[in-house]
Structure 1
Amino acid sequence: MTGSGDGRGGATTRATGHPAAGTATRPGDYVWGLVRLLIGWVFLWAFLDKLFGWGFGTPADRAWIRGASPTTGYLKGTARKPLGAVFSPLAGHAWADWLFMIGLLGVGLALMLGVAMRLTAVLGGLLLLLMWAAELPPEHNPFVDYRLVYLFVIAGLALTDAGDTLGIGRWWGNTALVRHHPWLK
């Protein structure tokens, strides 16, 4: 069955809202697919560097696999910020470390693959919002920093089905699991 359109000049299937087979992909779709991959790599790289301590943002002796806490440096650094009393005490707790690392890995993989974009936008947006709030005010601007920009870009990627181009989003959206649980789209 074919619906009215996908906003990209092509027909959509009524059941999934995804472009119908054979629908042309516009050049802009590739740009947004690349943006999704790039932001996914930012999250995935942060996870890998904190896990293994490859020396880019995390020195080898501060790697999570060597027993260091991936949240301590960042959250302890927020102590003098306006919300430092909220965020600084969370530093180094195992539950905070696990949630942070699972968040980085999950958001990174989902963006790289182009799956669960709605859920990724919500959870990744929450992670970014919390990191932004912990840093208030940002170092180089009284309000806006890259975390807010990423938050809105990820939301836009989810709203435009950016996982369908250069990703497996279209396939994912047509699985029985996602058809039964559309919030996983």
Structure 2
Amino acid sequence: METMIATIERATAENTAPKAGTAHERAVRYILAGTRLALGWIFLWAFIDKMFGLGMATESKNAWINGGSPTKGFLTFGVTAVLPPENNPFMDDHLIYAAVLAVLALVNAGDTWGLGRMWARLPIVQRTPWLR
């Protein structure tokens, strides 16, 4: 009688790092990495503008460093501003952002032009793979 042994391969930097792959696969990796960086810039810019009041969406007098609240405008106006969506009866740019973020996480886009491989080597990430 043969004994069956089940093994689970732990996700590590060695087995999750991007492979050289074809030119098409490399292009996809770079496009997804660029998309991740662009989306990150959108969020970073929103933070910087709220923090310093650069005049784009936040006036200087309402800047966080000048005593303004970074959530006041959103809590009083922003929540209802997108309901229902202005240009479409059911789709909103926030849903698209959420979907893009999910795709970027699922394909480990941070491994290209990011800290994803270094993050994967952390002991806590190796013990709890859902952090990957």
TM-score, normalised with respect to structure 2: 0.79
Q: What is the letter of the counterpart of residue 15 of structure 1?
A: R
Runs of 5+ unmatched residues, structure 2: 1-8
Instruction: Write the distance in 1 (CA, Å) between the matches of 2:78 and 2:117.
Output: 41
- What residue is the counterpart of 2:42 in the other structure? 42
Instruction: Work out whether residues 29 and 109 of structure 2, in 8 Å CA contact, stay in contact via their aligned partners in 1.
Output: yes
Displacement after TM superposition at 1:77 (Å): 1.8
Q: Pick closer, same or farther for the CA change 1:19–1:146 going to 2, 3 Å.
A: farther
Displacement after TM superposition at 1:37 (Å): 0.5
Which protein is bigger by CA-based radius of gyration? 2
Of 117, 140, 147 in structure 1, the residue corresponding to residue 87 of structure 2 is: 140
Instruction: Work out whether residues 13 and 118 of structure 2, in 8 Å CA contact, stay in contact via their aligned partners in 1.
Output: no
Give CA deviations for 1:2-35 in whole Å, capped at 9, x if unaligned. xxxxxxxxxxxx3216564682152100000000
1:59-98 matches, within 5 Å, as: 59-78=59-78, 81=80
- What residue is the counterpart of 1:183 in the other structure? 130
Pairing 1:28–2:28 present:
yes
Instruction: Work out whether residues 32 and 162 of structure 1, in 8 Å CA contact, stay in contact via their aligned partners in 2.
Output: yes
Pairing 1:160–2:112 present:
no
Give CA deviations for 1:148-183 in whole Å, capped at 9, x if unaligned. 100000001111111111111012112212112323
Q: What is the letter of the counterpart of residue 125 of structure 2?
A: V
Displacement after TM superposition at 1:141 (Å): 1.7
Q: Superposition RMSD on alpha carbons, in Å?
A: 2.1
Instruction: Write the distance in 1 (CA, Å) between the matches of 2:109 and 2:90.
Output: 28
Instruction: Work out whether residues 33 and 166 of structure 1, in 8 Å CA contact, stay in contact via their aligned partners in 2.
Output: yes
Pairing 1:15–2:10 present:
yes
Higher relative contact order (CA 8 A, sep 6+): 2
- What residue is the counterpart of 2:3 in the other structure? none
The secondary structure found in structure 2 opposite 1:42 is helix
- What residue is the counterpart of 1:84 in the other structure? none
Q: How many residues align?
A: 119
- What residue is the counterpart of 1:58 in the other structure? 58
Instruction: Work out whether residues 136 and 143 of structure 1, in 8 Å CA contact, stay in contact via their aligned partners in 2.
Output: no
Instruction: Write the distance in 2 (CA, Å) between the matches of 1:45 and 1:73.
Output: 17
Runs of 5+ unmatched residues, structure 1: 1-13, 82-133
Q: What is the letter of the counterpart of residue 19 of structure 2?
A: T
